[in-house]
Chain A
Amino acid sequence: MSKLSQLYQQVILDHSRKPRNFGELKPCTHSCEGYNPLCGDQITVYLNLDENNIVEEIKFDGIGCTISQASASMMTQILKGKTKEEAEKIFQEFQQMLVSDLDINNQQNSLGKLTIFSGVKEYPSRVKCATLAWHTMNSALQSKNKVSTEI
């Protein structure tokens, strides 16, 4: 597979065309707005955590490129039903896959289908697109209201 088709795999294109769990979730227990000033991408992530800190519901809305929309869409799928701690752990691993040295083939991880984004590592300018939704979700869990990729 070429580097480019690795980036734009069918699954990613499909998620960006038909994002899952797209829309507002109100009321919700946690939400945060994320912004990537470099490309104008903007996203809001909404979560409902139950009394055991389990993600009962998660949705997102906003605008962005193929990578950022697909990443947000797949994030909502994988996080539903996870605990807050699990969500934070997956966020860490996702980031490590893209910016440091998590070897998805040889190291144990909970990324599952998300490894499809590993090709983004080859495009440093696109890493922020893939991680925007995740940073936003993480900040929502930490109860911040706004987050930017440029700080």
Chain B
Amino acid sequence: MQIPMPLKNKLAKALDINSIRLDFPILSQKVNDLPLVYLDNAATTQKPIKVINRITEYLSFQNSTVRRGAYSLSEKSTALFNEARQKVAKFINAKQNSEIVFTKGCTEAINLIANSYGGSVFKPNDEIIITAMEHHANIVPWQLICEKTQAKLKIAPINELGELNLIELEKLINPKTRFLSLCHISNVLGTINPLKKIIDLAHKHKIPVLIDGSQAAPHELIDVQDLDCDFYAFSGHKVYATTGIGVLYGKLKHLEQMPPYQAGGDMIEKVSFEKTTYAAPPSKFEAGTPPIMEVIALGEALDYITNLGLENIKAYEHSLLKYAENQLAKLVPEVTIIGQATEKASLISFVIDSIHPHDIGTILDQEFGVAVRVGHHCAQPLMNILKVPATARASFAFYNTKEEIDILIKGLKRVIEIFKY
């Protein structure tokens, strides 16, 4: 097992991208008779062969339920399941395995906190803070629980670069503030939020903080103890594992206090028709048969990226970002990059003068084999602030190359040629 501990001071190593690409069968595919250029990694990432093989192996030879079979197969499966939880705990440097709750994705993790924590703690006129750059997954659950508890939702604004305005955030905090939820990295702007500063500020006022880490888990070295966040959530499918699995980290003191989120098997200690007592975390929050294969595949995926080294991944992806920004700069004034934060992850949202992102997406796909995301990226409130109906977004992973960015640029030139007038 690899432990990503004292990596921070280590110099980044160059990754062998050509051999890494061979680890991802889908990347050698053709679409529309063109080599696939997959630049929608912020939506979901592709899967390495190790993860695919692990799934096949599990389903072929190890499949069985966990936590209850009194037979070898189930004992093996349970051991693998627990081992994967341990890998996740290591990956984000949680103090203990019981602080890792499996959910079906980041969305469910946030809903769990809003319902269980929010539902039991928020009172009328309490205030909950989120930011202007949140994904719908980190907006709507709070709206719903605010409606139910009559708490109020407050929005911390961003500046014109797409960075969180910390002064305004601080002004929002008052004795009625009960919770702060924000993203680590914005899925539209690419902004990396200064979490330590923000969490320190919140904790000074005794406000617990949830971090939506969907866009950070694949790119950043995460240390929940160093961050001191109360909750941290991310999705498996964005870290090279499958859909159907997500992670919720929570400080044990919170998880112990919180009521169950869903009810069923596995989450109880003792059931009678008069009274049920609940199991300790994380089981309390994992009612029903868990997604065992997905959990084991997640462990395998985390091993894979830990092996590559997150600091190496980050350095390489940063070089892709800089290259893409420089190439796109040559297409100014037609192209405008949305989100110019100083600290930015490897994704670029952009618009082209008078050309709708949908049309950009179709041309890139059909004539160049380039997959980018177009639309509002599940962040309609942010789109309103930015005053664009939609953007196109290219998001990079460590298997992308400068040559692929060149194809994207060529495609954008063609788009401009077709639609510009």
Contact = CB atoms under 8 A, between A and B. Distances in A.
Interface in B148-189: none
Contact of A4 (B356, B366, B374, B383): B366
Nearest to A62: B389
Interface stretch (B69-77, B204-212, B321-329, B357-365): B357-365
A11 interface: no
Interface stretch (A39-47, A87-95, A104-112): A39-47
A67 B358 CA distance: 9
B375 A39 contact: yes
Nearest to A38: B375
A66 B389 contact: no
B359 A39 contact: no
A76 B4 CA distance: 62
Main secondary structure of the interface of B (DSSP, over half): helix
A42 B380 CA distance: 13
A7 B383 CA distance: 28
Contacts of B374: 39
Contacts of A129: 358
Contacts of B310: none
B376 interface: yes
B24 to A, nearest CB: 24
A63 interface: yes
B358 A39 contact: yes
Contacts of B356: 39, 41, 63-66
Contacts of B357: 39, 65
A126 B389 contact: no
Interface string B374-401: 1110001001000001100000000000
A13 B419 contact: yes
Contacts of B57: none
Among B367, B380, B390: residue with most chain A CB under 10 A: B390
Contacts of A42: 389
B363 A4 contact: yes
Among B359, B367, B374, B419: residue with most chain A CB under 10 A: B359
Nearest to A4: B366
Nearest to A42: B389
Given A4-B366, A126-B362, A129-B358, A40 B376 contact: yes
Among A8, A38, A63, A65: residue with most chain B CB under 10 A: A65
A3 interface: yes
Contacts of A13: 418-419
A40 B421 contact: no
Among A3, A66, A123: residue with most chain B CB under 10 A: A66
A26 interface: no
A123 B419 CA distance: 19
A17 interface: yes
A123 B357 CA distance: 15
Given A13-B419, A65-B356, A41 B389 contact: yes
A101 B359 CA distance: 25
Contacts of B358: 39, 65-67, 126, 129
Contacts of A37: 376, 380
20 contacts: A8-B359, A37-B376, A37-B380, A39-B356, A39-B357, A39-B358, A39-B374, A39-B375, A39-B376, A39-B389, A40-B389, A40-B390, A41-B356, A41-B389, A63-B389, A64-B356, A65-B357, A66-B359, A67-B358, A126-B358
Interface of B: 356-359, 362-363, 366-367, 374-376, 380, 383, 389-390, 418-419, 421
Interface of A: 3-4, 7-8, 13, 17, 37-42, 63-67, 123, 126, 129
Report, nearest first, the 4 A-B pairs whose CB atoms are least far apart.
Answer: A40-B389, A65-B356, A65-B358, A40-B390
